[in-house]
Amino acid sequence: MLLAVFSLLLMLVLAACNSSQAEESQPMDTGLDPNEWNNYAFKDIFPEHWESYMKNMVNEKEVIQKNDPSIEPMLPIVWNGFGFAVEYNLTRGHTYALEDQLEVRRITENPDAIASCVTCKSTLVPQMIEEFGDDFWAMNVHTEIMPYLEEHAGPSRDDELGKWGHASIGCSDCHDPVTMDLRITRPSLTDGLERLGFDYENATQHDMRSLVCAQCHVEYYFDPLNDQKVTFPWGYGLTFEDQWEYSEYQASRDGGFPGEYVSTISDTPILKAQHPEFEMWSYGPHQTVSCADCHMPYQRVDGKKKISSHRWGSPMNTLEESCRSCHGDKSPTYLEERVNDIQDRHKEQLLRAQDISASAHYYANRMIVRQSEGLDISDEDIKKVQDLIREGQWFWDMPAAENSYGFHNPDGSMASFARSIDRSQEAILVATRTLMAVGEDINELERQIEITKENVINEEVHHEKHTHAINEWFPNVRDN
């Protein structure tokens, strides 16, 4: 039933407000090479689009790590043992994607980083997949991908788009360089759509204005049973619940994907969510309009010519075109307040879920430590708590990694946080009963957890915060 509903929703062509069919492109021949990857090649052919595209180079917010006390302070704890605990920044936008990915500590300090990590960061990726085949996915970023990028894109580097903007996410990722037809260039999406039973080869223009975004704005994992290929967990459907069940099935397979890392605090295999905007949108209230309708709205550039804006970002920056073309009966103030209300409630529940999740990790840690001291705590008791921690973390991380701060699907986001909180609280309850049975002082345990959290928060050097999540009370139980 879900597959049928999903296919129907994607293939509906709405003639209503802000329709993606407002203007069908005329057949064209740009004269470019069919394999053109350099974003500069499109500059003079499409000057109006280029002007809007260059707005992606404007930094409108301070770029700081998301583990800042003002954002998500528990991240160095819940991700401890994984690169995201060291550095995970607020985004600067698509034109900076390749540069930021290559320079973030979780890549620079990981000598084993593989090409799958940059699959959605460069227009050169389709060329590399064509050239190297399935060997591409597991190629080493430092010794193989970086030299390739330097050879092919290094000579054309230019200040206008920064260090790597000319080879970062751009024109050919979504458009055929010759005809400018929308296209899918990442095989991970076509693989996922096939498992859903969606006929992408006959997708409408309206469908394509979302599918080109779904190449990257999705949850994924690197499949150890398929050459570390970027794979979407879409075997059972698109909801967070569907993807959880499919991910647990994959983890149960011999040699299957268990998770991105094992927590150093709780020794729990953890699934790290990515950025599932497409999935959250697909069962949210705006599922009948395309991604581009809101994030790349049609705009007048010379008083009469209408183009789809290529400045990718929040619709709040283009509220008249993105929102009021449909919600014309609502004032800009009302719409802004409505969005802010949704996002404020989202953040409140997110921080609550993360805080409880962090505590659950420490409860598991204490069980493992006490067991190592010879107390009567079974492996089964610990495993039950770890399973609850894993599930609880998935259900806050998915809506947290989704970049609309809940707006794409307010009800889905709240439901996910509720399940997360329930599972993390159950983990703490199970651990508490087990620890009390062996004489643990729970009040002192809670006090030590709060001290540790404060030490993490108070560390001013963002990439050092994770070091305070481990201490004498809560040692690294994964590697020792």
Assess whether pLDDT exceeds 70 at residue 1. Answer: no
Assess whether pLDDT exceeds 60 at residue 2. Answer: no
- The percent of residues in the chain predicted with pLDDT above 90, rounded, is 88
**Interval 57-80: pLDDT, tens:** 987 566 789 999 999 999 999 999
- Compute the distance between CA of residue 77 and CA of residue 84 in angstroms, rounded to an integer: 10
- For residue 480, being part of any structural domain is answered with no
Question: Which sign, positive or negative, has the C-alpha torsion 132, 135, 137, 141?
Answer: negative
- For residue 323, being part of any structural domain is answered with no
Question: Which sign, positive or negative, has the C-alpha torsion 452, 456, 460, 464?
Answer: positive
pTM of the model: 0.92
DSSP state of 155: G
pLDDT of 20: 43
pLDDT of 372: 97
One domain, residues 350 and 311: no
Contacts 24+ apart (CB under 8 A), 296-299: 296/209, 297/18, 297/321, 297/322, 297/325, 298/18, 298/22, 298/23, 299/52
pLDDT of 62: 67
Highest-scoring range by mean pLDDT, 61-75, 92-106, 198-212: 198-212
User: Token pair 């859903």 is at which residue?
Assistant: 196
Across 468-473, average pLDDT: 98
- For residue 96, being part of any structural domain is answered with yes
pLDDT of 11: 41
One domain, residues 151 and 182: yes
Which residue intervals of 12-160 are DSSP H helices?
Answer: 47-53, 75-78, 97-103, 105-108, 125-132, 146-153
Assess whether pLDDT exceeds 60 at residue 201. Answer: yes
DSSP 123-137: TTHHHHHHHHGGGGG
- For residue 321, being part of any structural domain is answered with no
Across 28-41, average pLDDT: 96
Largest interatomic CA distance in the chain: 78
Across 12-27, average pLDDT: 46
One domain, residues 101 and 137: yes
Greater model confidence, 304 or 130: 130
One domain, residues 302 and 447: no
The domain spanning residue 397 has which CATH number? 1.20.140.10
User: Token pair 């069980």 is at which residue?
Assistant: 367
Distances (CA, A) of 318 to 114, 168, 311, 408: 37, 24, 10, 17
- For residue 475, being part of any structural domain is answered with no
Assess whether pLDDT exceeds 70 at residue 10. Answer: no
pLDDT of 92: 86
pLDDT of 91: 85
Residue where one domain finishes, among candidates 287, 315, 343: 315
Q: Across the chain, what does the average pLDDT equal?
A: 92
Assess whether pLDDT exceeds 70 at residue 17. Answer: no
Q: Which domain holds residue 405?
A: 334-469
Assess whether pLDDT exceeds 50 at residue 86. Answer: yes
pLDDT of 33: 97
- For residue 213, being part of any structural domain is answered with yes
Distances (CA, A) of 421 to 122, 198, 243, 340, 406: 37, 34, 18, 23, 17
Across 251-269, average pLDDT: 97
Across 17-28, average pLDDT: 53
- The percent of residues in the chain predicted with pLDDT above 70, rounded, is 94
Q: For the chain, give percent helix, strand, coil, nearest 5.
A: 55, 5, 40
Across 23-46, average pLDDT: 88
Across 376-399, average pLDDT: 98
One domain, residues 245 and 371: no
Total domains in the fold of the chain = 2
Assess whether pLDDT exceeds 50 at residue 46. Answer: yes
Confidence of residue 304 (pLDDT cuts 50, 70, 90): confident
Confidence of residue 428 (pLDDT cuts 50, 70, 90): very high
One domain, residues 425 and 348: yes
pLDDT of 157: 83
Assess whether pLDDT exceeds 80 at residue 3. Answer: no
pLDDT of 303: 76
Greater model confidence, 357 or 158: 357
One domain, residues 193 and 295: yes
**Interval 127-167: pLDDT, tens:** 999 999 999 999 999 999 999 999 999 888 888 898 899 99
One domain, residues 309 and 388: no
One domain, residues 265 and 350: no
pLDDT of 12: 40
The domain spanning residue 112 has which CATH number? 1.10.1130.10
**Interval 160-190: pLDDT, tens:** 898 899 999 999 999 999 999 999 999 999 9
Hey, which bits of 130-267 come out as E strands? 221-223, 229-231, 261-262
Residue where one domain finishes, among candidates 284, 315, 346: 315
One domain, residues 272 and 126: yes
One domain, residues 347 and 292: no
Greater model confidence, 293 or 27: 293
Expressed in angstroms, the distance from the first to the final Cα of the chain is 48
pLDDT of 27: 76
One domain, residues 77 and 225: yes
Assess whether pLDDT exceeds 90 at residue 472. Answer: yes
